[in-house]
Amino acid sequence: MAPTLITVAPTGAETAKTDAPGLPCSLDELVSTAKACEAAGAAVIHVHVRDADAAPTLDLGRVTASVEALREATDLVVQVSTGGAVTDSEADRLRVLDSGPDAASLTCGTVNFGTDVFLNRWEFVERLFLEMREREIVPEFELFDLGHVATMRRLLDKYGAPYGGHVHCDLVMGVPGGMPGTLGALTACVVALPPEATWSATGVGRTTIPVLLAALAGGGHVRVGMEDTLTFAPGQPVRDNAELVERAAAFARLAQRPPMPPEDARVMLGVRSRTGAR
Ligand code: KMH
Ligand code: ZN
């Protein structure tokens, strides 16, 4: 069986530091989290950045400093979020592509997000795709609903392959307003993907473990982290991101699909090598 690509999403943009003290918000916290998660089996880090007050920010200087520090300290594939927070503008979300990442998230449609709306217009999705290709950034297609799979296919039909030549998606399940974190929803998406695509799945909140197990059983990969889950078990808050990666790696080993090292993840995803030659 193939190894498991583990992505860690350590911070997100929607949780306050005061509500989750273990959330990595400063650059030092982000880097030490990344090192611990790499040691625990992660190969990719999905990065949201916070400001000096721990509020979410897309400030280009801060995002670039985070990308550079993560590169310096780890071998992880560095994937910046272009989703930002629900309140961020399209211009700010596009600008993070200038931070020099290996990869970036690309959400393929609008979705209700709790009491908010995570807005992703078709023209904006097209622009993100094209600007990533121009900058040699590998997209990770974020799919919160079955309709987002159709939108990703429409994008690929219109423009061809992304930079790197490979299609990798993340099924984000269990967001209030998106698809549920169920085996049925996961299967409906997986059968609708292009046959050559690889995929991860993320179960938000209490769907974390069922989605993790379904992804491992279905030949997919996994994303875990405090962006998506703040409760380790009923009544037990998550201690830190490494705890979530350790658990995912343990499940992956039990499934005889051990964690994929970052260098193999680069090859699978079509990400540039650190020397610039793929
Ligand atoms: N914060 C969410 C509204 C992404 O990073 O690309 C969007 C999000 C997706 O987290
Ligand atoms: Zn995110």
pLDDT tens by residue, 127-177: 999 999 999 999 999 999 999 999 999 999 999 999 999 999 999 999 999
Supply the DSSP string of 106-119, one letter for each residue.
EE-S-EEETTEEE-
Q: Please, which pLDDT band fits residue 275 given cuts at 50, 70 and 90? A: low
User: What ligand 1 atom has the least distance to the C-alpha of 46?
Assistant: 5
Interval between CA 128 and ligand 2 midpoint (Å): 15
Pair of tokens at residue 218: 């279905």
Q: pTM of the full predicted structure?
A: 0.98
Q: What is the pLDDT of residue 272?
A: 86
Interval between CA 147 and ligand 1 midpoint (Å): 17
Residue from 89, 94, 118, 175 to probe ligand 1 pocket by mutation (most atoms less than 8 Å from CB): 118
Place of tokens 């046959």: 195
**141: phi > 0 → left, psi -120 to 50 → alpha, else beta; which?**
beta
With a Cβ cut-off of 6 Å, ligand 1 is lined by 12-14, 81-83, 85-86, 105, 107, 113, 118, 142
Q: What is the pLDDT of residue 126?
A: 98
Cα separation of 2 and 35, whole Å?
Answer: 24
> Which ligand is nearest the CA of 110, by number?
1
pLDDT tens by residue, 171-216: 999 999 999 999 999 999 999 999 999 999 999 999 999 999 999 9
Q: Please, which pLDDT band fits residue 276 given cuts at 50, 70 and 90? A: very low
Residue from 15, 46, 81 to probe ligand 1 pocket by mutation (most atoms less than 8 Å from CB): 81
* Residues recorded for the chain: 278
Q: What is the pLDDT of residue 277?
A: 42
Question: What does the DSSP 8-state code read for residue 99?
Answer: G
Q: Of all protein residues, whose CA lies closest to atom 6 belonging to ligand 1?
A: 83
Residue from 105, 152, 171 to probe ligand 1 pocket by mutation (most atoms less than 8 Å from CB): 105
Q: How many helices (H) and strands (E) does the chain have?
A: 9, 14
pLDDT tens by residue, 114-140: 999 999 999 999 999 999 999 999 999
The per-residue pLDDT of the chain, averaged, comes to 97
User: What ligand 1 atom has the least distance to the C-alpha of 142?
Assistant: 6
138: enclosing H helix or E strand: strand 138-143
